Amino acid sequence: MSAEERAAGKAAVPDPRLAPAARVATEHAAKGAAAGVAPNRFAHLFPPLADPGALPRRVLVIAPHADDEVLGCGGMLAFHTQRGDSVRVVVLTDGALGDRDGLAGDDADALGRTRQEESVAAGRILGVSDHRFCGLEDGGLGTLADLSSRIADEIADFDPDLVYGPSPHEFHTDHRATAAALITAAAADTRTRTYHLFGVNTYAHATVLYDTTAFWTRKSEALAAFASQMAYHDLVEKCGAFDRSRTVNVPDDAVQKAEGYVSLPSERMAAYGRAVATLVREVADAALIGGEGAREPAATRRADARRAAELGVPRTTAVISTWNKVLDVVANVESLLDQTLAFAEIVVVDNCSSDGTAELLAERFPEVRVIRTPHDKYGACETFNIGFASVTTPWLAILDDDVVLPPDWLEKASVRLLAEPDTTALLSSKVVEPGMPASYTNSERVNTERYMSTFRGCGSLAKVAPLRAAGWYDERLFIYGNERDLTCRLLADGYRVLQYPGVVTYHSTPFGLQMGKRSLYYHARNAWLTQLKYAPFADLVKLPWLVLTKVLLRSETKETGGEVTDAVGTIGIGSSIKNTKGAWRVLAKAAWSILLNVPYCLRHRRPVHAPDFRLPIE
């Protein structure tokens, strides 16, 4: 039997010339089990080699970016179209961040159009003619409160029987956000559909394989159509190796390429998502954050609360604000429970997540106090303030949801803060992030104890009383820049903020200013609002020139070399302006908001003359 016949789902006749294991593999297709997956006596060797002929004929693909539809399921797309199935591909993002070095020029809109054209060309090779391009912000899917409802609308509009989409095991934040939203949409669906979840930048733990050997030529040609991406990656070679590796234990030499999927009915998707989150807690610091080895199981590392008394340090409450990052927050909480010095309490403020965060935390960690907001429109400043206001201990830890702390983090930080004068209100840890250059991580300024004009809000230890007196975060800022704003008020009250590189926070958010319109808008807007409130007049006068020369025109070498250590929110702002579609319109909108907020800033103006005060340019 030819590979083309097998892939097309035609009845297979066992070949007596094959080895016994190979004959069993071909018998799968001959038996044609109703679910499309026949019994596999060799399940310890490879997932079932399924008969694609049993798959439904109305097919929808949800792709985070143009090219994911081919990388993830290009072989099966070719099978479906050859069989005459109805196929639609939905591409969620505009792909505007897909040219990091600007090889195709500076026009993000043009890049988005190019990637659409490439997707259409690739689809033509595979036989797909029905595309929908949603044009959502590349790199920003995780910030969209309505992503699951958008995907649900796409599913309802096409009404497929089979849906392909990314697995929650993916590394790329857009892929993980898509997977979480797809799981939420499936859980809310009123009808049963089959879901096939694929891996693009990491393996999906496949429950089913399909022989796509016969379609590899078309898939490779479709991948080659993405010239803008081939400039950075040899997609054909890499994907070919990926598909070849799926066949590692398949005992049929004719099977040269295979695609693997997690195959689930819609009613099992939510349980699968929770199970993946539980698994990730065991490996998050080693596999996702890049820490030095996995932690011991939490059951063997519950810290004794008496340790605080032995050390003579006050008790501390951990405060986390989260929104739709269930995998990250589970790993975070696990690391908090692993501390050698126990937190008195862990408070998670859940901004009405739709990915089951609150439910999973309640099930997995009953000792954690979860505060759930009534809707998801709160800003990070407000959700953190809700958590801060609930604290009853003398100290609190300010933590982003996507961090993992080493087991001795709280103990080391507490001992160091205790040794400081009463005028030290807060200790800011050293932060390690993906993409952080060694020249930055190892720079003298990053690795020296010193007093600062801001702090890292993803991992800091603070005294509650000074922060409460200063009024917590300014909720008008919504998100970004709130740490510097609060520090200005602490400095004005006579307090100091200590940078302490003796403890490290592993943060999974990439280094520097995050790409996208929302990030650019709030960073630009909030930096000016803070300085209008607190910068001395002489500094305000020279600030525009300093921003131009020391921020906008600053070289990447200076940013990554460790010369910019306090104003980390400005690192990469030049790249953000260059790569964000409509960046100048975003900046104009920010400028208009600044003007509207001038009366507010003047009402709260309190120039800071403390020696630690610095403008946000260093």
CA nearest neighbour of 400 among 462, 325, 473: 325
Query: Are 125 and 161 spatial neighbours (Cβ–Cβ below 8 Å)?
Result: no
Pair of tokens at residue 594: 């600044």
Torsion over CA: 523, 387, 509, 262 (sign): negative
pLDDT, position 604:
97
Least trusted range by pLDDT, from 24-38, 187-201, 273-287, 521-535 = 24-38
Superfamily, domain 68-276: LmbE-like (3.40.50.10320)
CA nearest neighbour of 571 among 551, 547, 548: 551
Domain assignments of the chain as residue spans, ordered by start: 68-276, 289-511, 514-618
* pTM score above 0.75: no
Query: Are 246 and 273 spatial neighbours (Cβ–Cβ below 8 Å)?
Result: no
Pair of tokens at residue 437: 């250059």
User: To which residue do tokens 């991992």 refer?
Assistant: 459
Pair of tokens at residue 521: 């808008």
CA distance linking residue 572 with residue 577, whole number of Å: 9
pLDDT digits (tens, 9 = 90+) for 265-307: 998 888 788 778 666 655 544 444 444 444 444 443 445 667 8
pLDDT, position 565:
46
pLDDT, position 513:
59
Confidence of residue 544 (pLDDT cuts 50, 70, 90): confident
| CB contact set of 503 (below 8 Å; sequence gap of 6+) | 406, 408, 409, 412, 413, 416, 429, 430
* Class of the CATH-defined domain 289-511: alpha beta
Report phi then psi at 370, rounded to 5.
Answer: -105, 125
> What is the pLDDT averaged over residues 454-482?
96
Specify the 3-state DSSP secondary structure of 51. Answer: coil
Cα–chain center distance at 467: 29
Number of H-type helices and E-type strands within the chain: 24, 16
Specify the 3-state DSSP secondary structure of 489. Answer: helix
Pairing of strands 316-322, 345-350: parallel
Least trusted range by pLDDT, from 21-30, 158-167, 215-224 = 21-30
pLDDT, position 104:
61
Least trusted range by pLDDT, from 197-206, 278-287, 573-582, 604-613 = 278-287
